Amino acid sequence: MVPHEMTSTVFELSGYEVTANLGIVRGIVVRSRSVFGTIGASLQTMVGGDISLFTELCEKTREDSFDRMLAHAAEKGADAVVGVRYDATELMQGVTEVLCYGTAVKVKRV
């Protein structure tokens, strides 16, 4: 898998020169909220503040989609991924797709 430190939201990587563009890579996760999580989150909304159950679900989903993107990049033989972005779409009530994508590249140290 491509190491986390070899990713960037910009189209360059400090200390490296891009030598080849290997194309778009992505990691997709579709998650639903559990009934128990929804009830717990509903109770948290009554007191206000951070809805930690949803925060944890979102963080885990983003992490999983990021790791899947890195695995896809490794399959293409990439050293790094630049231009990393996230997107999320609600497919139906309580079911959300999270997409992490970027450009897989080969790099050399400068």
User: Is residue 56 assigned to a domain?
Assistant: no
Residue at 95 is within a domain? yes
Q: Is residue 46 part of a domain?
A: no
**pLDDT reported for residue 55:** 81
**Domains identified in the chain, total number:** 1
Number of H-type helices and E-type strands within the chain:
2, 3
Measure Cα distances from 51 to 1, 34, 78, 96 in Å. Answer: 32, 15, 37, 17
Give the domain CATH number at 79. 3.30.110.70
pLDDT tens-digit profile, the chain (110 residues): 999 999 999 999 999 999 999 999 999 999 886 555 555 555 556 566 666 777 888 899 999 999 999 999 999 999 999 999 999 998 888 788 999 999 999 999 99
pLDDT computed for residue 103 by the predictor: 98
Residue 55 lies in a domain: no
Domain limits at 102?
Answer: 4-31+63-109
In a domain, 90, yes or no: yes
Give CA–CA dist 99/29, Å, rounded: 7
Is residue 48 domain-resident? no
**Does 75 reside within a domain?**
yes
pLDDT at position 51 is 65
Query: Coil, helix or strand for 95?
Result: strand
pLDDT for residue 40: 55
Residue 69 domain-assigned? Answer: yes
Between β-strands 16-32 and 80-92, what pairing exists: parallel, antiparallel or unpaired? unpaired
For the entire predicted model, the pTM comes to: 0.85
Cβ partners under 8 Å of residue 74, min gap 6:
1, 2
